[in-house]
Amino acid sequence: MEISKISRRKLGDYEILLQICFPNSNLNEEYLDWLYFTNPLGDVVGFDAMDGNKLVAHYACIPTRIDGKIGLLSLNTATHPDYRSKGLYQKLAKQTYEHWSSNFGFVVGVANAKSASAFVSRLGFTDLGRLNLRYGDLQRPTSGSRTWTKADVNWRTKSPRQSLETKLLENGLVELSMRPKNFPFKIKSIISIEGNENQQNRERIGSRQGFTIDWIKGHKPRFYLPEKLKPSPLAMIYLSLNDECLELNSWSFPDFDAF
């Protein structure tokens, strides 16, 4: 078994493996190229396990930024069904964190219940809580949240899988919205863009209400929506790669690309 870094020339192999593991996810080559190699913060990092010329396991993270600090967003973890229960994803993840720990201070991720449990028990992550599909105030803490620039937003809104609409608000805020497949309504989130505070002609903002999917530290929605409308349970997980203290206070659907 050979372990090698993720490479753009293997995008076709990643598509094949991810479609085997997640047949309904539409993780095709075009999407993976956008996700892995056009992020303004830098290219994907991670490792592959190869059995000869066959890709059998893949672990990928992309750079992200919280409070101006650069870390990693844990993304695709996939092992071919014939090679499971061999600890390959743990090996690839640990090697990723060790290799790039001098470049990135933390790892955050959004995982389903089963994956979150494995990341906590086997890789030392902390489970911060569930993301909720809720209706309520869209504003959330700007401290301890994903930091955005214009370039980041321009990239994020052009996902080949699901584009996002933008609406400029006041005080450097932007409303992002999308309608996930099979959802009866749009979901919305408000983010803050660095350097946008003095732009004119913004819609004035009070308390903006809407449907959203997010996690806010210590917050419980006043109104829970029916389970049939919710995506699979998603947990917010976190791992520090150095001694620097980072307090994570919120995470919302624009901060990752799961829909």
Q: How many residues does the chain have?
A: 259
Tens digits of per-residue pLDDT, 89-109? 999 999 999 999 999 999 999
- Look-up: residue for tokens 């076709």? 12
The CATH number of the domain where 57 resides is what? 3.40.630.30
Same-domain check for residues 72 and 143: no
Same-domain check for residues 97 and 10: yes
Rounded to an integer, the average pLDDT of 210-227 is: 78
Same-domain check for residues 162 and 77: no
Residue 254 has pLDDT above 60, yes or no: yes
**Spatial separation of the C-alpha atoms in residues 209 and 196, rounded to whole Å:** 22
Residue type, 173: L
- Whether 240 is in a domain gets the answer no
**Spatial separation of the C-alpha atoms in residues 234 and 219, rounded to whole Å:** 16
pTM confidence score: 0.91
Rounded to an integer, the average pLDDT of 155-180 is: 90
- Whether 109 is in a domain gets the answer no
- Whether 237 is in a domain gets the answer no
Same-domain check for residues 99 and 146: no
Structural domain containing residue 142: 133-223
Same-domain check for residues 65 and 159: no
Residue 245 phi/psi, 5-degree rounding, is: -85, 125
Rounded to an integer, the average pLDDT of 167-182 is: 87
Same-domain check for residues 29 and 95: yes
- Whether 254 is in a domain gets the answer no
Q: Which of 99, 113, 24 is closest to 59 using CA atoms?
A: 99
pLDDT bracket for residue 231 (50, 70, 90): low
**Spatial separation of the C-alpha atoms in residues 134 and 211, rounded to whole Å:** 6
More confident residue, 225 or 24: 24
Same-domain check for residues 141 and 79: no
Same-domain check for residues 198 and 138: yes
Same-domain check for residues 7 and 89: yes
CB 187 within 8 A of CB 181: no
Predicted confidence at residue 12, as pLDDT, reads 97
What letter would DSSP give residue 203? Answer: B
Q: Work out how many domains the chain is built from and give that number.
A: 2
Same-domain check for residues 64 and 138: no
Q: What is the mean pLDDT of the chain?
A: 89
Same-domain check for residues 99 and 137: no
H helices of the chain, in order, are 11-21, 29-37, 88-100, 113-123, 150-156
Same-domain check for residues 61 and 143: no
- Tokens standing for residue 104: 């990135």
- Whether 219 is in a domain gets the answer yes
Tens digits of per-residue pLDDT, 129-161? 998 888 889 988 989 999 999 999 999 999 998
